[in-house]
Chain A
């Protein structure tokens, strides 16, 4: 059976960096990522007392993505402002040839920018798979959808990324 962190501090120590990377890749900037991490850990702290033994990863990532979705709903009332330097780099890149653009796929800035253009459900599935390293089954538990939906979202997300990056 999976070992379960017993305290909030243990969750913060063991999973803090993973939560931060998830938050950063979904929001695209450190300030929002910091806020999201704080919110997630607050929810973990409140929720640990009622945690039922089972899949801790599924529980943790369900809390994390729910916190993210709540933040998105709040943001719908106020537009987000991408970092100016990121926009400048993206605009400059659009004048390059398709081959040169394809070569730049390995550059993190462009990938981050493309991730932010994905629909939220594709973005979270791709990030949970490729950044956090969860299995499809764990993602299905976290997102509360059938595993076939996870499979489809990850693939369609990658296909969209491919189109955005070329």
Chain B
């Protein structure tokens, strides 16, 4: 029986064509030797991929010091997962945070510097937007 041993890494890396992949999977399903080899190569592959990503020493390339880019494209999953977790945290935080008290005229005035008219003759307080100067001051 011919064992497709050199296809093991290509299979793990997603580099087999559809037909090759189907043949490989069918073979490994019935071949103990290839199944064991697949497991061993997978362990080594994972170990190399788990090597820590090293940061560029600061000052080595001053142009690159401020840049943060993903090193491995195949780590995109983790970036997506982290974004999903962050989104959930934000959503939960929004749910558990008590609703803010209704804004009062004084709140608006202090936040936006608006003038507030409190003339009782006109009912509830009115908020008047601050006057915006047009053009450059002379």
Contact = CB atoms under 8 A, between A and B. Distances in A.
A86 B109 CA distance: 66
B60 A20 contact: yes
Interface stretch (A6-14, A59-67, A69-77): A6-14
Interface in B1-24: 5-6, 8-10, 13, 15
A15 B69 CA distance: 8
A17 B48 contact: no
Nearest to B62: A12
A95 B92 CA distance: 51
A34 B66 CA distance: 18
SS of B interface (majority): loop
A155 B8 contact: yes
A136 B10 contact: yes
B53 to A, nearest CB: 6
A133 interface: yes
Given A132-B72, A155-B5, A159-B41, A21 B54 contact: yes
B63 interface: yes
SS of A interface (majority): helix
Nearest to A154: B9
Interface string B50-69: 11111111001101101101
Nearest to B52: A108
A18 B69 CA distance: 9
B50 A133 contact: no
B56 A131 contact: no
A20 B44 contact: no
B11 to A, nearest CB: 10
Sort A-B residue pairs by CB-CB distance and give the 4 closest, nearest first.
A16-B64, A133-B72, A155-B9, A130-B48
7 contacts: A12-B64, A16-B61, A17-B64, A20-B60, A133-B75, A136-B15, A158-B45
